[in-house]
Amino acid sequence: MTGGTRPAGTLAIAGKTVSRLGFGTMRLTGPGTWGDPPDTDRALRLLHTVVDEGITHLDTADAYGPHTAEHLIRRALWPYPEELLIATKVGMVRPARNVWKPLGRPEFLRATVEQCLRRLGVDRLDLCYLHRVDPAVPLPEQVGTLAELQQEGKIAHVGLSKVAPEQIDTASSVVKVAAVQNKLSAAVPDDTATVEHCRVRGIPYVPYAPLGSGLLTQAEDLRKALRRLLGLGDHVAPIPGTSSVAHPRELLRATSD
C-alpha cells in the first residue's frame, strides 16, 4: 500500500479507520454479475491497484458471481493488510443471471457465512451485511442469526443493506448496526431520511452504485457525483466500482483535485 494518505479522508467503520472512498467489487464478475470476469488477470491487477492507491475499504458479497468476487479478493490480496476492511453480504440467492432473490432463513444465513469465511480465507468476517431483508422472515430473526454468529466469533460487525429508518431501528433492538449500505446516486438521488437517520445514530452510511451503475464516465461528472455524496456528511463513505484498472486513479483524482 502506497503512502499514508487515505482517499477523501478517513472514517471509522466496523472497528477500523478506513478510507472514506471505498471500492465495490460487483463489477469484477462476468456480465449480469454472473460467473468469472472476461479477464481474470485484469481483475486481479485491479484489486492490487485499488489497495496500492490507498483504498482500505473493499465491499463484496456472496452473491457476486455468485462467489466469484470473494474468490478474486483472496487470490489477489491474501494475506490481507491489517488496515484493510473487507465487508461482505449474505442473504441473497442467484438462481440465474440477473436474478436476485432475498433469502433470510437462519440456516441459509449460517451456511453462507461459513462459505464466505472459507472463500475469503479468514476466521472472522470484518463486516457482514444482511444483503436484503427477506419479507418472508421476520427481520429480528434474520439479524438475530447474524448476532448469534457474531457472538460465536465468526462475524466481527453486522450491517444492513437496502433498508429504511424503521428497519434500522428494528434491527438495532437486536444487534448493534455497524453500517448501512443503500443505493444513492444522481440516478437514485433521494435517501435523505436514511442518511440523516444514520448520522443521528452514529452509523456509517455506505452508498452503493454512487456513480449510477457506471452511467457516469466524464471526469467532471465523476467529481461532482462523488463530492456531492461526500458532502452529505462525515459519516458517508461511497463504494464506487469498476472493471477498469485505470478507473480507480480517476476516482481518486475526482476526490482530491
For 143, the grid coordinates are 439479524
Give DSSP secondary structure letters for 165-176. Answer: HHHHHHHHTTS-
Residue among 64, 80, 129, 208 flagged as catalytic: 64
256/95 Cα distance (integer angstroms): 41
**Residue 64 is among the residues annotated as catalytic for this protein:** yes
Report the alpha-carbon distance of residue 44 to residue 148 in Å, rounded. Answer: 34
The single-letter code of the amino acid at 140 is P
Q: Which grid cell sits at 6?
A: 487515505
CB burial of 115-136 (b: ≥16 within 10 Å; e: otherwise) equals: ebbebbebeebbbbbbbbbbee
Asked if 114 and 82 touch (Cβ cutoff 8 Å), the reply is: no
Measured CA to CA in angstroms, residue 40 lies from 30, 53, 73, 249, 250 at distances of 10, 20, 11, 20, 21
Determine the Cα–Cα distance for residues 7 and 200; give it in Å rounded to an integer: 24
> Which amino acid is located at 146 in the chain?
L
Catalytic residue set: 64
